[in-house]
Amino acid sequence: MAARFVYWMNVSADLRIEHAAGEEGGGEWMRIGEGLHREFNKRAARLSAMVEGRVIHETMESFWPAARDDESLPDFLREYGRIWTSKPKFLVSRTRTSAPHDTRVLDSIEAVASLRDQFDGDIGVGGAGVATQLLTAGQLDELLLFTHPVILGSGRPLFDDHDIPIELDLLEHERFDEGVTMHRYAVRKR
């Protein structure tokens, strides 16, 4: 069985993943409490691998390897650090040639698509650029969106520009503390 690509992202109600340059997947507007983070941990633990764009990967690698053993952090953050560092990861980059923590560098969306035959289950996708390329190539299978109750009005969108409407089917939804909702969608194949 071939793996499936799942784009997993925190978004605002107007589908922005950053409000200001440099937030790099974070921001004061996000409401990530313990319950929501434990949901992240549960879902991340089930992934067979992770594919990340350079910006997201560099954000992750700057924090999670040290977090896994940092006793000053809550257990659920240390747990995510252990999950992230232990998963096979694929960094999509034309500028980096290596990365630590069980990470291989890939330089094309075709190389990413070939991972489908190397894994079973879900491959998590992080980063708007990579997700947009997979979407336009007909390779993205699902969206897993954690929507935070805020309208940002500007900033980086969930996807880069693409010119073909793509329909989705709702598979699952759930509400978490602080008004965050999760929606999981299947991408309808063209």
What residue ranges do the domains of the chain occupy? 10-187
pTM: 0.93
The per-residue pLDDT for 120 is: 94
Please report the beta strands in the chain, taking only residues with DSSP state E, as ranges in sequence order: 4-12, 16-18, 49-53, 89-92, 103-106, 122-126, 142-148, 156-157, 168-175, 181-187
Name the phi and psi angles at 29, rounded to 5.
Answer: -75, -15
- Encoded tokens for 152: 């940002």
The answer to whether 159 and 136 are in contact (CB under 8 A) is no
Distance CA 146, CA 177 (A): 12
Name the phi and psi angles at 76, rounded to 5.
Answer: -70, -30
DSSP category for residue 81: H
The per-residue pLDDT for 162 is: 84
The per-residue pLDDT for 99 is: 86
For the chain, which ranges sit under pLDDT 50?
none
The per-residue pLDDT for 177 is: 84
Which of 127, 140, 46 lies closest to 86 in space, CA to CA? 46
The answer to whether 175 and 181 are in contact (CB under 8 A) is yes
Class of domain 10-187: alpha beta
Give the contacts of 43 (CB within 8 A, at least 6 positions apart): 8, 144
The per-residue pLDDT for 141 is: 98
The per-residue pLDDT for 24 is: 65
Q: Looking at beta carbons, which pairs linking 79-85 to residues 24 or more positions away fall under 8 Å?
A: 79/41, 80/37, 80/40, 80/41, 80/44, 83/41, 83/44, 83/45, 84/44, 84/50, 84/60
Distance CA 140, CA 60 (A): 22
